[in-house]
Structure 1
Amino acid sequence: MINNKQHNINKNGHRIFFILILCLFGFCLVQAMQAPRKKHKKRPKGERVYLLHADELRYDMFGRNPDAQIVKGKVSFMHQGGHLTCDSAYFYQGTNSVKAFGHVHYRQGDTLSLTCERAEYDGMMQMMHARRNVVLHHRRQTLKTDSLDFDRLYNMANFFDGGTLIDGKDRLVSDWGEYHTETREAKFVFNVKLRSGKDVVTTDTLYYDVPTSTAHMVGPSKIVSGSSVVHTADGYYDTKTDKAKLFGRSTLVDKDKSITGDSLYYVKNGESTGYGNVVYVDKKNKNSLTCNYLRYNEKTGMGFATKRPVAIDYSQKDTLWMHSDTMRIYTFNINTDSVYRKVHAYPHVRAFRNDMQAICDSLVFNSKDSCMTMYKDPVIWNANRQMLGEEIRAYMADSTIRFAHVIGQALSIEQMPDSVHYNQITSSEMKSYFEKGEMKMTEAIGNVQTVYYMTNDKDSSLVGLNYLETDTMRMYLGAARKLDKIWTNKFTSTMYPITQVPPAKYKLPNFAWFEDLRPKDKNDIFVWRGKSSGTELKSIKRHEAPLQSLKKESLKKDKEKAEAETASGKTDKEASKTAPKKTVRAASRKISKVAPKVTKKNKRK
């Protein structure tokens, strides 16, 4: 009995120990189930691949595929909503996979269709490997390649042996790529080429968003659109609207013209905008423009530049630099033979060239007559000469000045070598004629006054001062811009020895020398220095002929009074006595029109 009891106790102890082990295992299992899991999709292993139909089915137990069911003739499979048809197949029921051959056609819903010559489908991994003449249709997109792997779990198709995506007018080609059927986004890598109508994009890596038809280019890329070529390393291109957003120091080239900027917004045949260190270059006309903001419309020919704009002209031996706060361009009769443009620069215009400097408040250049007009206190310097007036017009020929016209309060000053004395000419207007950029003749018209210092030919010392007044004067210049001869009509002149010049005659009444305002170099054009208060040109009102006007009310009263006097039988003589002196003649004229003519016949009656 004792042995039986001990045996039962041992038996019960083993059971308790076994139950404890089971409880401990269950507790660990619960803890494992409660542990955080990764968010990766888990491939289901439940549903199997079903063979729906085949004209012929057989086994080859001693062949190469003993585990396969060999099916032929209108073969059809179904797996989780996907339908696969082919001419023949190996069906591996144990591994839940299929090898399909001949006219393979896979359909998923009503939006996706895939055709190829052969394919392998793994039902456990939900992965299809399609080979040879693969065509994937998804909505309105078509992907053509020779090797494609389609992952049903992640809705992603990968091709790696060259592929073409067709989206309406867009055609994308690359060596490798992937296409997401759920988000309809595509990625293309290596030798990528996008053709959209006549536009061609070439790059190394491209992301394409199908719903918006937007291509994102990464790495060195090029967009060719007609005669325009875009170079960028980071750009977005909308194939529907032909809009491009370019970043990373991009460049737009159109024949001989180019625009480079940190950011460019380009619209084909529309408005383009550049931000950040924008550089515009016209190689044909040899000029350029730099600024931090540029806007230009190809359809209207309207342009706008601001934020430190600088126009640069290097068509001559010396480069011209011009700066203003704002620059605008207007195009007239665009796309015609009579096209011409106007460029407006304002305010605070400053220009520098080694042989010429200028300042003014505003400037207008008209390509129709090649005229550059400077407004509001313009000043021009050339070597030791200064010219100013109310308005200065410079007419160009191939970027070379041929004629200059100073209008209103014209003043020309030449500083002598001693930097103390000045040759001066003032008049109502001045005209200067140039030949190959060299001044040949200057004409001063209207109220001409001159102060001219005569020098000794041997040592160039000052001999005397000649003060002259006339109506018109012409000065002809020879080689090295030396005065050759002077022509003038009737004049009055006074010669003063240099030691006997009255203090009031050294300078003309309107003398002004603005050396401190003169730009020193190309960097000095950004520092505006205007005329100080009181040194600006004073506006002079033009003389107008006095005009007389008759008031309508007084004429009406005179007419009524004349008619009343005629009706009462008064004579012209009596009416003239009672009428005001200022209206006698007018009233008499009106009475003669109203009163009947007196003839001999009437007198007899």
Structure 2
Amino acid sequence: MKIALILSAIFVCAQISYGQSSWLELLPGAKKLSYDEKTGKQRLTGFVNFKYQGNVMFCDSAHYKERTNEVWAYGKVQINKADTLNLFCDSMYYNGKTRLAKLWGHVRIRDREYKLTTDSLDYDAKSSKAIYRNKGRIENITTNEVLTSVFGYFYPNTEESFFKGNVVYKSDELKLTTDTLHYNYLVHKVFFYGPTVGTTKDSKFYCDKGWYHVQKEEGFLTNHAKIEQAPRIITGDSLFYAPKRKFAEGRGNVQMLDTAQKVQFNAGFFTSDGNTLKDVLTDFPLIRIMKSKDTMFIRADTLVHFRDTLEKTLRIRGGKDVRIFQEKVQGVSDSLDYKKADGIMDLWGNAHFWSYNSELIGDTIRVFIKNDTLIEKAHLFPHAFAANELDSGKYYNQLAGKEIWSYFKNNELVRSEVIGQAKTIFYPEDEQKTDTAIVVKRMGLNRIFSSSLNVYLDSGEVTGISYITLPDGKFYPMDKINPDEQFLKEFIWNPFLRPKTWQELLKPRVQPIIKEEEKTPTGRNK
């Protein structure tokens, strides 16, 4: 964005100024000179050429009133200042005492770099202010820079310019439309107010208020701020962008949508570093991956997004209070490392994973993902445990071992394989048909130990168990189950940790108070 319209150089302002002799010096060329004693006016006609207060002036006719230091010029008016600046108009009035000037008709002001064109212009030399009120156009003679507006205000002493009303700036790099634009040459900043749209070769931005630093080539957008840079769309309460440093920052309701990858990032605070190809999200950050109907939501206190030079996601890392939500599976842990390019997500530190009425627990859970959202399998290690809730929490099928491999189909748990020191508590069922229905009856409790075993599930219900080596077990009928034998020592059941909706991820997780009667006989949370 080169909104550097070096506007302090565009306008004569002080050029038609007070400060030299108030005498009008007639130069050769005028065909006729007359004097009116009543009004005190001198009238010159016919290619008038004179010097007044250091400026050489040309016109078809002119009136000069020495008593009040007033000059009227008509017809092809031209003012030249040191051969570096020229002013043209159809007519002009200047009062040397009040130092007010008015120009009308095809007003053009030009220096070696810029040209201003307007219908009429007022200039107050005392307060150093120039104004056009009926549309103006500023052009850079050496480039394709053009600015148009309804109103223009110039303050050469402070080197500031204001433009208002349908302001449009165009250059080879940028088109900018806004309601009000303020340029301060001293600080090299352009400020814009009101609905603003900027278009560059590869991006588009919107805001209601903002600024751009011309020399540093960096800007700040606020009030409905939005940047479109395909395939990315970024919005936020405020956005700071420094393309020269390849750095961006967003604050307040920041959202970045990648339409190509179908990934959306939300955070209260967001930074993006193009040199390290890293994005950092804090203040309740959330990443949603929308490759299928079962969208994956990932949140943590801090999320770090790594990308390649083509802006594609390589890796996502999360620290503290990691939570994952999909309609069919959910997970929590202390930390997360998702190597998206490899389709591997590691959860470690109090890692839990849920599918239907099953909870998987491990020091580390490695999840294998296909097409970004489709869970294929999960590896729990070491000290792996899994529980399957029955009859609304009255009983639990349980698995424990050194490691557990769980396999999924359409994000539903269908099989678990326990490897090493496998232990299981399983409540087998028997179906009894009646004339009107099928009644499921629990047969009892099977407590079995084996080196390895497989558990098969359908819609969250265990349908069978197979043992790789000869099992060692015991069966208890339902009416003879000893409560001390009902739970493995590894048993943990944490329904309060499980996210129920993705909206829960946007709020702090509140640890519930567990009453004594809500604990299992092992003392574990139920």
TM-score grouping bracket, smaller chain normalisation: 0.7 to 0.9
Q: By how many angstroms is 1:150 displaced? A: 3.0
For 2:33 and 2:273, locate their aligned partners in 1 and report how far apart those are by CA, in whole Å: 73
Q: Is the 8 A contact 2:31 2:47 kept in 1?
A: no
Q: Is the 8 A contact 1:75 1:89 kept in 2?
A: no
Q: By how many angstroms is 1:412 displaced? A: 0.9
Q: Is the 8 A contact 1:517 1:531 kept in 2?
A: no
Mapping 1:464-479, distance limit 5 Å? 464-478=444-458
Q: Of 310, 314, 337, which residue of structure 2 is paired with 1:364?
A: 337
- SS of structure 2 residue aligned to 1:456: strand
Q: Of 476, 492, 502, which residue of structure 1 is paired with 2:471?
A: 492
Q: What whole-Å deviation, never above 9, does each CA across 1:545-583 have from its counterpart, x for those lacking one? A: xxxxxxxxxxxxxxxxxxxxxxxxxxxxxxxxxxxxxxx
Q: By how many angstroms is 1:164 displaced? A: 2.8
| 1:157 counterpart residue number | 130
Which stretch of the first structure deviates more once superposed, 480-489 or 412-421?
480-489
> How many residues in Structure 1 have an aligned counterpart in Structure 2?
481
Amino acid at match of 1:505: E
User: TM-score of the superposition, structure 2-length normalised?
Assistant: 0.81
| 2:389 counterpart residue number | 415
| 1:597 counterpart residue number | none
Root-mean-square deviation over aligned CA pairs: 3.4
| 1:523 counterpart residue number | 504
Q: By how many angstroms is 1:411 displaced? A: 0.8
For 1:85 and 1:395, locate their aligned partners in 2 and report how far apart those are by CA, in whole Å: 83
Q: Is the 8 A contact 1:104 1:117 kept in 2?
A: yes
Q: Is the 8 A contact 1:184 1:211 kept in 2?
A: yes
Q: Of 324, 336, 361, which residue of structure 2 is paired with 1:351?
A: 324
Q: What whole-Å deviation, never above 9, does each CA across 1:446-499 have from its counterpart, x for those lacking one? A: 222211111221332321222233333334445x35545544322214341323
For 1:240 and 1:46, locate their aligned partners in 2 and report how far apart those are by CA, in whole Å: 37
Q: Does 1:441 align with 2:415?
A: yes
Q: Is the 8 A contact 1:49 1:123 kept in 2?
A: no
| 1:562 counterpart residue number | none
For 1:440 and 1:205, locate their aligned partners in 2 and report how far apart those are by CA, in whole Å: 63
1:493–1:58 distance in 2 versus 1, CA, 3 Å: same
Identity of aligned residues (%): 22
Q: Which has the higher helix share?
A: 1
Amino acid at match of 2:492: A
1:474–1:305 distance in 2 versus 1, CA, 3 Å: same
Q: Is the 8 A contact 1:309 1:325 kept in 2?
A: yes
For 1:158 and 1:114, locate their aligned partners in 2 and report how far apart those are by CA, in whole Å: 18
- SS of structure 2 residue aligned to 1:240: coil
Which stretch of the first structure deviates more once superposed, 208-217 or 404-413?
208-217
- SS of structure 1 residue aligned to 2:152: strand
- SS of structure 2 residue aligned to 1:262: strand
| 2:286 counterpart residue number | 310
1:486–1:523 distance in 2 versus 1, CA, 3 Å: closer
| 2:4 counterpart residue number | none
Amino acid at match of 2:449: E
1:370–1:143 distance in 2 versus 1, CA, 3 Å: farther
Q: Of 395, 404, 409, which residue of structure 1 is paired with 2:378?
A: 404
In structure 1, list runs of 5 or more residues that go unmatched: 1-42, 536-605
User: TM-score of the superposition, structure 1-length normalised?
Assistant: 0.71
Q: Of 209, 216, 228, which residue of structure 1 is paired with 2:191?
A: 216
- SS of structure 1 residue aligned to 2:431: coil
- SS of structure 1 residue aligned to 2:122: strand
Amino acid at match of 2:235: T
Q: Of 52, 61, 77, which residue of structure 2 is paired with 1:89?
A: 61
Amino acid at match of 1:387: L
For 1:45 and 1:512, locate their aligned partners in 2 and report how far apart those are by CA, in whole Å: 91
Q: Does 1:450 align with 2:424?
A: yes
- SS of structure 2 residue aligned to 1:361: strand
Q: By how many angstroms is 1:255 displaced? A: 2.5
Amino acid at match of 1:527: R
Q: By how many angstroms is 1:363 displaced? A: 0.7
Which stretch of the first structure deviates more once superposed, 231-240 or 84-93?
84-93
Q: Is the 8 A contact 1:104 1:119 kept in 2?
A: no
Q: By how many angstroms is 1:208 displaced? A: 1.4
Q: Is the 8 A contact 2:60 2:74 kept in 1?
A: yes
- SS of structure 1 residue aligned to 2:428: strand
| 1:575 counterpart residue number | none
Q: What whole-Å deviation, never above 9, does each CA across 1:202-249 have from its counterpart, x for those lacking one? A: 111111123444221111111223332221111112233331112224
Q: By how many angstroms is 1:67 displaced? A: 5.2
Q: Is the 8 A contact 1:116 1:132 kept in 2?
A: no
Mapping 1:370-409, distance limit 5 Å? 370-398=343-371, 399-409=373-383
Q: Is the 8 A contact 1:447 1:471 kept in 2?
A: yes
- Give the number of the structure whose alpha-carbon radius of gyration is greater: 1
Q: Is the 8 A contact 1:430 1:443 kept in 2?
A: yes
Q: Does 1:104 align with 2:83?
A: no
Q: Of 230, 248, 251, which residue of structure 2 is paired with 1:275?
A: 251
Q: By how many angstroms is 1:347 displaced? A: 1.0
Amino acid at match of 1:91: H
Q: What whole-Å deviation, never above 9, does each CA across 1:29-75 have from its counterpart, x for those lacking one? A: xxxxxxxxxxxxxx99996440331323424799xx99552244471
Which stretch of the first structure deviates more once superposed, 85-94 or 395-404?
85-94
For 1:277 and 1:408, locate their aligned partners in 2 and report how far apart those are by CA, in whole Å: 39
